[in-house]
Amino acid sequence: MNNARSLGGVAITPDGSTVYVADNGDGTVVPINTATNTPTKPITVGKNPDFIAITPNGSTAYVTNNGDGTVTPIHTASNLAGSAIPVGANPYGIAITPNGATAYVTGSNAEGNFVTPIDLATNTAGTPIDIGATPGFMDIAITPNGATAYVTNTGGIVTPIAIATNTAEAPITVANQPLGIAITPDGTTAYVSTAGNNTVTPINLVTNMVETPIGVGSSPFGIAIR
């Protein structure tokens, strides 16, 4: 993958030694030793954990807890959870910048959608970034150069966020119900699973223009690039 983030609540450490799996129903994250394919003791996090991202150095996994509006850090050396970080209502997707400095978490409330940055040096949340549109599921991916985060929104758009200024840029209209998003390692293209018309939609990240959708079958959700 282009970074150690989750695909539906699963993330792998950069060294490939451990898989972390969010168990939404019982509020835990389960580590799996990849050498033996055996799970170890579940780690208690917040309510309804959804997505996971792991820092580039592999030291910490961050888990969004959709049910209580927090993100829980997990120290991967000990598999102990740290203090929960409040980030606002309904956190879903999470991505970490390539330099490991900031995590970006999508959220949603009655007023619309937002993305909350977390300073990973202090584990404190910053000012939410308003991205408007229809509240609902959102995923997020960051370009390999760390310049831009791209956020899917079920209202039919993908919103770029300039990381240097934490400001939302002009939204990109795609097919209805864009869900998962992944970016190629060279940073030139994002691929978005657009469930509303059973396609994957490429976006040229040089121009932020949508390219011809690719038919893939019914209701595509997650997406990853190797």
pLDDT score at 11? 94
Lowest mean pLDDT among 80-84, 117-121, 172-176: 172-176
Distance CA 218, CA 123 (A): 39
Q: How far is CA 82 from CA 46, 59, 142, 188, in A?
A: 11, 12, 25, 36
Q: Which DSSP state fits 224?
A: -
- What superfamily does domain 10-180 belong to in CATH? YVTN repeat-like/Quinoprotein amine dehydrogenase (2.130.10.10)
Distance CA 22, CA 9 (A): 5
What's the mean pLDDT in 193-202?
92
Domain boundaries, the chain: 10-180
CB neighbour class for 130 (10 Å; exposed up to 12, middle 13-18, buried from 19): middle
Global pTM value: 0.94
Instruction: Read off the pLDDT band of 45 (50, 70, 90).
Output: very high
pLDDT score at 6? 47
What's the mean pLDDT in 33-50?
96
pLDDT score at 1? 38
pLDDT score at 5? 47
What's the mean pLDDT in 72-83?
98
